[in-house]
A and B are shown apart, each in its own frame.
Chain A
Amino acid sequence: MAAASGTNDLSSEMELDAFRRLFPLRFHERHLLESIRPDGRPLGRARDTSLSFGAVASANGSALAKIGCTTMLAAIKLEVMTPTVEAPDEGCIAIDFHMPPICSPLIRPGKPAEVAPVISKQLSDTILRQESGMIDLKELCLVSGKAAWMAYLDIYCLDADGALFDAALLSAVAAFSHLQIPVVSLNDDGRIVLVSEENGGSMKEKEPVNKEKIKLKMSSQPFSLTCILHKNYILADPTSEEESIMETYLTVVLDTNYQLASLNKPGGPGLASTSSIQDCIVLARKRVKELQQILGEAISDMEVD
């Protein structure tokens, strides 16, 4: 009770800010009591999300995703490689997540962020799932046993303000939606060459290997929502401040058909009950619908331009 009466006395902004810094947990719990968060959101709502394509002109596909202040830039570059003997008609996707020092005051050059490789692995697991994965690696094949695409997906965190995995996954899915596979053909030496638009006419006698495969087919697109579990409260799409104060969180990944693709609760001091997990999945379902709409709108905007 002392905490509650204490906050009422804090009238000026200066004192409020001091209270927020000195007693962050009390500050947040006081908000939770009123079912609101310091940034004015209800507990279950995610921050404003936006997507744009083609930020990196030199890449084959790129996208910039923003969830609140968290900003992710994903770019895909394609290279021709020789497929492995085990999978002669499959391409390959390499996913890397980077947190350069510009994105957060906690990261300094030469000392990489601990979460970066964790998120990198989570992204690979989600995108490259066996069988029902988002991309059929056979789509990346050019000439069976001879040539296939190697897709390098690099995601850079430009501004870290919580829910990093959600933003990174969104930017990755969007970058694959934007990806344009260049038209290539086999030359006389049996090597793959690019058919550029200028000399397309002169190379007409050489049949392009992949005339129709300009866009990559995606069987299912994963989207995610991270929620903080704190006491009986569930906070969707946390900011970095909330993540640093309340350390138990749960990430739900659903595919296009709202099927559960992954559920991750990486430890933390709190335990998740069955009902809270179910509540998180309900919130994630709502959020995935929202994200699908945002992605759809961004794609139709791009096609108009």
Chain B
Amino acid sequence: MTYCNRAACYLAVLKTGAVNSSSGSAYAEFGNTKVIVSVFGPRESKKAMMYSNAGRLNCNVSYTTFASPVRGQTPETKNISAMLHRALEGAIILKSFPKTTVDVFALVLESGGSIMLYDMVAAVSVSCIGKNLLIDPVSEEESHQDGALTITCMPSRNEVTQMTVTGEWSTTKINEAMQLCLDACSKLGKVMRSCLKEAASAPQD
């Protein structure tokens, strides 16, 4: 078992335009975790819902059958879909597309620990094991954690959109962990920003 003091995030690989048939898409890689996200819309809402002046955001996360080490043991996806929804809600100006829906679909190709969510919203989780704080834990580390903290924020505006704390934490530890998360979020935000800039400046085919 390797409980290294890994105070740095995994190398993040980000590529936009992974899926041609979508309105927008990206492929992200954090260590062993690989995720593809497609965004469709704004388009007509499929479900017959009541008229709404603001647009709707619909998020869905699914796993491939080979995402987890043991086949068929996929984690609870409803929870993570809701988390993605809550994380993005604050960032999207829903008023700008009334009556329509934006669909955000994510497929986890391979899961190597914490799942990262994005769209200029950065998320970082920290595990607490004994006295150690581990940033971006792998699944093996997550299974031994005493407590977990996930912070989702918009780094450029310095606003936290979501914070989840579970398990046992001391006040000093949680302060330390929050600071660690926010720092990592702003770094991740920079990676995402430069990736998007690159994609935007690249010549369109």
A interface vs B, CB < 8 Å? 55-59, 62, 69, 71, 73, 75, 77, 79, 96, 98, 100-105, 108-109, 152, 154, 156, 158-161, 240
A245 to B107, CA, bound (A): 29
Which of A98, A152, A158, A161 meets B36, CB within 8 Å? A158
Q: Do the beta carbons of B20 and A109 come within 8 Å of each other? A: no
Stretch at the interface among B2-10, B65-73, B178-186: B65-73
Contact partners of B62 in chain A: CB under 8 A = 100-101, 109
Inter-subunit contact A105/B21 (CB<8 Å)? yes
A100 and B21 form a contact (CB under 8 A) = no
Measured in the bound complex, the distance between the Cα atoms of B71 and A218 in whole Å is 25
A75 and B69 CA atoms in complex are apart in Å by: 13
Q: A75-B64, A102-B37 are in contact. Are A69 and B43 (CB under 8 A)?
A: no
Given contacts A56-B66, A100-B105, A152-B71, contact A159 B21 (CB under 8 A): yes
Partner of A159, one of B20, B40, B71, B103: B20
Cβ of A103 and Cβ of B66 under 8 Å apart? no
A110 to chain B, nearest CB (A): 8
In contact, B21 and A240 (Cβ under 8 angstroms):
yes
Q: Are B105 and A104 in contact, CB atoms less than 8 angstroms apart?
A: no
A56–B66 alpha-carbon span in the complex (Å): 8
Which residues of B lie under 8 Å from residue A75 when comparing CB positions?
64, 66
CB <8 Å contact, B107 and A102: yes
Is B46 a contact of A108 with CB atoms below 8 Å? yes
Chain B residue with the shortest CB-CB distance to A100? B107
CA distance A105 to B41 in the complex (A): 9
Contacting pair A103 B19 (CB below 8 A): yes
- In the complex, the answer to whether A69 meets B65 with C-beta atoms within 8 Å is no
- In contact, B107 and A156 (Cβ under 8 angstroms): yes
Are B19 and A159 touching (Cβ within 8 A)?
yes
Let me know if B66 and A102 touch, CB within 8 A. no
CB proximity to A under 8 Å, residues B41-70: 43, 46, 60, 62, 64-66, 68-69
Q: How far is the CA of A127 from the CA of B191 in the complex (A)?
A: 43
State A75–B19 Cα separation when bound (angstroms).
Answer: 19
**What's the count of A-B pairs with C-beta under 8 Å?**
79
- Whether the Cβ atoms of A103 and B21 lie closer than 8 Å is yes
16 further A-B pairs in the complex, CB-CB below 8 A; given A75-B64, A102-B36, A108-B103: A55-B109, A58-B66, A59-B66, A73-B64, A75-B66, A98-B64, A100-B107, A101-B62, A101-B103, A101-B105, A102-B38, A109-B60, A156-B107, A156-B109, A158-B19, A161-B20
- Taking the closest CB of chain B, its distance from the CB of A50, in whole angstroms, is 14
CB <8 Å contact, B105 and A102? yes
Q: Can you spell out 5 A-B residue pairs with CB atoms less than 8 angstroms apart?
A: A58-B68, A79-B71, A98-B65, A100-B64, A102-B37
Residues of A within 8 A of B194 (CB): none
1/0 per residue B11-32: CB within 8 Å of A? 0000000111111010000001
Bound-state Cα–Cα, A187 to B103, Å: 51
Is the pair A160, B21 in contact by a Cβ cutoff of 8 Å?
A: yes
Q: Inside 8 A of A96's CB, which chain B residues have their CB?
A: 65
Q: Can you list the 5 inter-chain pairs with the closest CB atoms, starting with the nearest?
A: A102-B38, A69-B20, A109-B60, A101-B105, A75-B66
The chain A residue sitting closest to B47, CB to CB, is: A108
Q: What chain A residues lie within 8 Å of B60 (beta carbons)? A: 101, 109
Q: A57 to B32, Cβ gap below 8 A?
A: yes
Q: Name the CB-closest residue of A to B67.
A: A58
Q: Which residue in A69, A154, A160 is a CB contact (below 8 Å) of B64?
A: A154
Is the CB of B110 closer than 8 A to any CB of chain A? yes
Instruction: Indicate if B106 sits at the interface (CB-CB under 8 A).
Output: yes
Q: Which residue of A lies closest to B43 (CB)?
A: A105
Contacts of A158 in B (CB 8 A): 18-19, 36, 107
Choose one: B22, B66, B105; the contact of A77 (CB below 8 Å): B66
Cα(A55)–Cα(B109), bound, Å = 9
> With the chains together, A76 CA to B103 CA distance in Å?
30
Kindly identify which residue among A71, A108, A154, A240 contacts B66, using a CB–CB cutoff of 8 Å. Answer: A154
- In the complex, what residues of A have CB within 8 A of residue B107's CB? 100, 102, 156, 158
Known: A57-B32, A77-B71, A154-B65. A102 touches B109 (CB 8 A): no
Separation of A108 and B21 alpha carbons in the complex (Å): 14
Q: How far is the CA of A160 from the CA of B38 in the complex (A)?
A: 12
Judging by beta carbons under 8 Å apart, are B21 and A69 in contact? yes
Query: Which residue, A62, A77, A109, has most C-beta atoms of chain B within 10 A?
Result: A109
CA distance A57 to B66 in the complex (A): 10
Which residue of chain B lies nearest to A111 when distances are taken between CB atoms in the complex?
Answer: B46
Give, as a whole number of angstroms, the nearest-CB distance from B62 to chain A: 6
CB neighbours (8 Å) of B32 from chain A are 57-58
| A109 & B105 in contact (Cβ 8 Å cutoff) | yes
Q: Which residue of A lies closest to B23 (CB)?
A: A105
CB-CB under 8 A from A109, the residues of chain B are 60, 62, 105
